[in-house]
């Protein structure tokens, strides 16, 4: 893993992408810190991170779009497949390299709450809890981006897919408020989710039988519940949509709470999408 990590990290900085990302991130954080902490006189550095959350979602695909798609495009992935390095080492090496680039401006930002303390009372605990939550949220976004990069050999396709998925996750709370709580809506919504999961299964396993059987069984079960006891489905799709809202989990850190449930949630998302990426590569490795 260390070999892949160093190779990927060198590619970020040799190609200047890492420097550009760090400079842009620090500039954005600096501008918002001036506006929030100095101009509006709020003593909460976590409010700055909350304000830049959407901008980081927009630039996150730049970090991940080339992780594995570039390997496929240049056919250098064949060297990875034939090497004695395990697939987990490849995936984790690339994931942690992207996470390191993302973490560098956050590490520098750790000095900002101390700087702000020279001008007034600043709660360092809530500030650093906000930075930790932001790092975990970024890790979850990176894991999703690396997975989407593994599905295509085009950097542009991987970037657009990452933008779409991250934007959908960001807008999920607003979208859930516009969705009906009826059983029919839940039945249709879960059916769509089952089809998406089926596509992910096929992308990772290339097993048509498994990919087809999963949504068929799931939709049949939903139909049975809908006709026999529809009350069980009422409001469940809205609950599911809120559960899929990755970036809403950061809200607890903004209010100064080190929420263990949110930490476990982010770590689970990271582990899950790294697992999906490993399955995609393993399938391609033995194809």
Q: What would the pLDDT profile of 9-59 be if each residue is shown by its tens digit? A: 777 777 778 888 888 888 888 888 888 888 887 788 888 888 888 877 778
Structure tokens at 186: 């839940």
Amino acid 127: pLDDT: 86
Q: What is the DSSP string of 78-113?
A: HHHHHSSS-HHHHHHHHHHHHHHHHHHHHHHHTTHH
Amino acid 90: pLDDT: 84
Q: Span 265-275, mean pLDDT?
A: 92
- Confidence bin at 81 (pLDDT 50/70/90): low
Amino acid 142: pLDDT: 92
Amino acid 217: pLDDT: 85
Amino acid 205: pLDDT: 67
Backbone CA torsion sign across 18, 20, 25, 30: positive
Q: Taking a C-beta distance cutoff of 8 angstroms, is the pair 228, 28 a contact?
A: no
Residue with more model confidence, 82 or 65: 65
From the list 85, 69, 83, 78, the residue with the least C-alpha distance to 146 is: 69
Q: Taking a C-beta distance cutoff of 8 angstroms, is the pair 146, 273 a contact?
A: yes
pTM over 0.75? The answer is: yes
**Terminal CA-CA length for the chain:** 23
Q: Span 258-281, mean pLDDT?
A: 88
pLDDT reading at 268 higher than 90? yes
pLDDT reading at 6 higher than 90? no
Structure tokens at 52: 């830049």
Q: Span 239-249, mean pLDDT?
A: 81
Q: Span 78-101, mean pLDDT?
A: 81
- Confidence bin at 204 (pLDDT 50/70/90): low
Percentage of residues of the chain with pLDDT beyond 70: 93
pLDDT reading at 83 higher than 80? no
Q: Span 245-265, mean pLDDT?
A: 83
Q: What would the pLDDT profile of 106-157 be if each residue is shown by its tens digit? A: 999 989 888 888 877 778 888 888 889 999 999 999 999 999 888 877 788 8
Q: Span 198-210, mean pLDDT?
A: 72
Q: What would the pLDDT profile of 163-176 be if each residue is shown by its tens digit? A: 888 888 888 877 77
**CA–CA–CA angle 62, 63, 68 (5° rounding):** 105
């Amino acid at each position: 893993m260390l070999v892949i990590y160093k190779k990927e990290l060198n590619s970020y900085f040799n190609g200047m992408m890492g420097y550009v990302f760090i400079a842009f991130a620090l500039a954005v954080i600096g501008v918002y810190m001036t506006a929030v902490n100095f101009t509006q006189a709020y003593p909460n550095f976590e409010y700055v991170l909350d304000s830049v959350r959407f901008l980081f979602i927009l630039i996150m695909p730049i970090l991940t779009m080339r992780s594995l798609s570039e390997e496929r495009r240049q056919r250098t992935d064949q060297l990875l497949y034939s090497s004695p390095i395990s697939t987990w080492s490849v995936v984790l090496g690339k994931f942690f390299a992207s996470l390191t680039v993302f973490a560098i401006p956050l590490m520098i930002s750790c000095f900002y709450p101390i700087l702000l303390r020279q001008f007034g009372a600043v709660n360092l605990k809530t500030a650093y809890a906000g930075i930790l939550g932001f790092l975990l949220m970024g890790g979850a976004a990176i894991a999703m981006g690396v997975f989407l990069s593994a599905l295509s050999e085009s950097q542009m396709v991987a970037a657009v897919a990452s933008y779409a998925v991250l934007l959908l996750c960001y807008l999920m709370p607003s979208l859930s408020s516009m969705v009906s709580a009826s059983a029919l809506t839940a039945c249709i919504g879960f059916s769509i989710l089952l089809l998406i999961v089926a596509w992910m299964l096929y992308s990772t396993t290339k097993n048509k039988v498994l990919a087809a059987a999963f949504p068929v069984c799931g939709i049949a079960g939903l139909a049975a519940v809908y006709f026999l006891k529809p009350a069980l489905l009422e409001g469940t799709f809205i609950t599911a949509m809120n559960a899929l809202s990755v970036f809403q989990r950061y809200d607890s850190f903004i209010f100064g709470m080190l929420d263990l449930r949110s930490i476990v949630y982010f770590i689970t998302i990271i582990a899950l999408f790294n697992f999906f990426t490993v399955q995609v590569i393993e399938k391609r490795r033995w194809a």
